[in-house]
Structure 1
Amino acid sequence: MTPEKTIDPKAASPGGRTATADGLILPITGLGVWNLYFLAKFGLAWAGYLNLSPLWNALFIAVLLIPLRSGILRFLRGAAGIVCAFLLLWSESWLPGIESITANAGGIAGFSWNYILELALDFINWQMVGWGALGIILYVLLRNTIRITFVTLCCFVGMTVTPMVDAFFAGDAEKDESVVAAVNGGAAAGKNQAVSDSKTVKEWYEAFLAYEKERRAEFPTGIPEKDTPFDILLLNICSLSNDDLAASQLENHPLFSRFNIRFDNFNSATSYSGPAALRLLTGACGQPSHNDLYGERRTECETLNRLGALGFSQHVMMDHTGEYDDFLQVLRDKTGLSAPLESKGQPIPIRYMGFDDEELADTLALLRFWQRTTARAKEKRSVTFMNLISLHDGNRLPRHGRSEEFKPRAQRMFDDINTFIRELERTRRRVMIVLVPEHGAAVRGDRIQAQRLRDIPTLRITEVPTMVKFVGVRGLPEQPIHVTGDTSYLALTSLIGRTIEKNFFSKSGGAVPLEELVQNLPETHRVSENGQAKILELKDVEYLRRNDDDWKPYGG
Structure 2
Amino acid sequence: MNMDNKPAMLPGAWWRGLGGWNFYFLLKFGLLWFGYLNFHALSNLVFLAWLLFPLPSQRLHRVRQWISLPAGIALFWHDTWLPGLNSLLSQGNQLAGFSPAYLLDLVERFINWEMIGAAFVLLVLYLFVAQWIRITVLVTLALIWLNVLTIAGPAMNLLPEKSATPAVVLNDKPAASKAPEGLDQSAPPTSANLTAWLNRFYDSERQRATHFPDALPADSQPFDILVINICSLSWADIDVAQLRTHPLWQHFDIMLNNYNSATGYSGPAGIRLLRASCGQTSHSNLYKSTDQRCYLFDNLAKLGFKQQLMMDHTGVFGNYLKELREDGNLQAPLMSQTGIAPELTSFDGSPVFNDGQLMQRWLDDRTKSSDARSATFYNLIPLHDGTRELGSTRTADWQPRAKVLFDQLDTFLTNLEKSGRRVMVLVVPEHGAALQGDKMQMSGLRDIPSPGITHVPVGIKFVGMKAPHQGQPLTIDTPTSLLAISEIVSRVVDGQVFNAPNVNMSVLTDNLPQTPVVSENDNAVVMMYQGKPWIRLNGGDWVAYPQ
Partner of 2:344: 352
Displacement of 1:311 in angstroms is: 0.5
Partner of 2:527: 536
Partner of 1:369: 361
Displacement of 1:296 in angstroms is: 1.0
Secondary structure at 1:278 match in 2: helix
Structure 2 residue corresponding to 1:203, chosen from 182, 193, 196: 196
Check whether the contact 1:299–1:336 (CA below 8 A) recurs between aligned residues.
no
CA distance 1:330–1:21, shift in 2 (3 Å): closer
Normalized against structure 1, the TM-score is what?
Answer: 0.90
> Cα RMSD (Å) of the superposition?
2.1
1:256-277 deviation digits (Å, cap 9, x = unpaired): 0111100011111000000000
CA distance 1:467–1:29, shift in 2 (3 Å): same
Check whether the contact 1:312–1:382 (CA below 8 A) recurs between aligned residues.
yes
CA distance 1:21–1:362, shift in 2 (3 Å): closer
1:284 aligns with 2:284: no
1:495 aligns with 2:523: no
Question: Structure 2 matches for 1:377-396, cutoff 5 A?
Answer: 377-396=369-388
1:150 aligns with 2:137: yes
1:65 aligns with 2:52: yes
1:555 aligns with 2:546: yes
Partner of 2:464: 472
Question: Structure 2 matches for 1:125-204, cutoff 5 A?
Answer: 125-167=112-154, 186-187=179-180, 190=183, 192-204=185-197
Structure 1 residue corresponding to 2:22, chosen from 26, 35, 41: 35
After superposing the two structures, state which structure 1 stretch, 501-510 or 92-101, moved more.
501-510
After superposing the two structures, state which structure 1 stretch, 471-480 or 485-494, moved more.
471-480
Q: 2:526 is aligned with what amino acid?
A: I
1:220 aligns with 2:207: no
Whole-Å Cα distance in 2 between the matches of residues 169 and 417 of structure 1? 53
Displacement of 1:42 in angstroms is: 1.5
Partner of 2:441: 449
Partner of 1:317: 310
Secondary structure at 2:376 match in 1: strand
1:249 aligns with 2:242: yes
1:117-167 deviation digits (Å, cap 9, x = unpaired): 111111122221111000111122222122221221232233333454555
Structure 1 residue corresponding to 2:401, chosen from 404, 409, 427: 409
Question: Structure 2 matches for 1:9-88, cutoff 5 A?
Answer: 24=11, 26-88=13-75
Displacement of 1:61 in angstroms is: 1.5
1:431 aligns with 2:418: no
Check whether the contact 1:260–1:470 (CA below 8 A) recurs between aligned residues.
yes
CA distance 1:415–1:21, shift in 2 (3 Å): closer
CA distance 1:301–1:550, shift in 2 (3 Å): same
1:487-540 deviation digits (Å, cap 9, x = unpaired): 011001100110124721112443xx1010001010111111111111111101
Check whether the contact 1:315–1:339 (CA below 8 A) recurs between aligned residues.
yes
Question: Structure 2 matches for 1:503-518, cutoff 5 A?
Answer: 503-510=496-503, 513-518=504-509
Partner of 2:515: 524
Shift >3 Å, 4+ stretches: 20-25, 162-170, 185-192
Displacement of 1:468 in angstroms is: 0.3
Task: Pick the structure with greater CA Rg.
Answer: 1
Unaligned runs of 5+ in 1: 6-19, 171-184
Partner of 2:292: 299
Displacement of 1:190 in angstroms is: 4.7
Check whether the contact 2:15–2:55 (CA below 8 A) recurs between aligned residues.
no
Q: 2:518 is aligned with what amino acid?
A: V
CA distance 1:305–1:360, shift in 2 (3 Å): same
Check whether the contact 2:224–2:375 (CA below 8 A) recurs between aligned residues.
yes
CA distance 1:168–1:149, shift in 2 (3 Å): closer
After superposing the two structures, state which structure 1 stretch, 276-285 or 333-342, moved more.
333-342
Check whether the contact 1:261–1:468 (CA below 8 A) recurs between aligned residues.
yes
Check whether the contact 1:219–1:501 (CA below 8 A) recurs between aligned residues.
no
Displacement of 1:547 in angstroms is: 2.3
Partner of 2:163: none
Displacement of 1:99 in angstroms is: 0.2
Partner of 1:422: 414
